[in-house]
Amino acid sequence: MSRLIILISGRGSNMRALVEAGLPVAAVISNRADAGGLVWAREHGIATEVIDHRLHVDRPSFDQALAETIDRYRPDVVALAGFMRILSAPFVERYRGRLVNIHPSLLPAFTGLHTHERAIEAGVKCHGATVHLVTAELDHGPVLIQAIVPVRQDDDPERLAERVLRAEHIIYPRAVRWLLEGNLDMTGDHVRTRDAQPQYLWADGSAEGL
């Protein structure tokens, strides 16, 4: 049976979406003991672990401890769900092709933080979210699926963020399921679903309840 590990640092709303989609979550791991998502995971009978980054002298030491904990569960896929630590190149390479992240923008646009504010300031008409395989370059890597969320004239960052998050909760479980089921082919940085499922979602107010 396939096994999924989820890494979180906070409330874990995308973690909840993955669990509620019925994916085979073996454990939830956080770098913060006070992460709200850990409480929810425990209440739902999911194993949890804490690897506190503050107890490690440097990033390689933390990454090694994190990897050793992950490997105990023999995961097929490791999903970052609001995990607020930059991972080292050796860690990323260790899980190459199995480490996936969701980012609140249409990558390669707006890497990094404060994506909703920057999208509004830039005057773009479409924003959204991207699920991608993780590479050593921050917020880069082969795209698995994207959700396109129109930017409305009266949007502020909070309203836009709320709609993007709803889209994230749809596309992240889809992409992780594709990985777990081996439903993806990759040529270079281009990823295709083997059964031709669409790798985009129009979140325009009419698609799938958004």
Identify the residue whose tokens are 């107010």.
205
- Residue by residue, DSSP assigns the chain as ---EEEEESS--HHHHHHHHTT--EEEEEES-TT-HHHHHHHHTT-EEEE--GGGSSSHHHHHHHHHHHHHHT--SEEEESS--SPPPHHHHHHTTTTEEEEESSSTTSS-SS-HHHHHHHHT-SEEEEEEEE--SSTT-S-EEEEEEEEPPTT--HHHHHHHHHHHHHHHHHHHHHHHHHT-EEEETTEEEETT---SEEE-SSSSTT-
Question: Which residue out of 53, 56, 103, 190 is catalytically annotated?
Answer: 103
Task: State both tokens at 147.
Answer: 């959700």
Residues in the chain: 210
Residue 103 bears catalytic tag: yes
Residue type, 182: G
Could you give the residue numbers annotated as active site?
Answer: 103
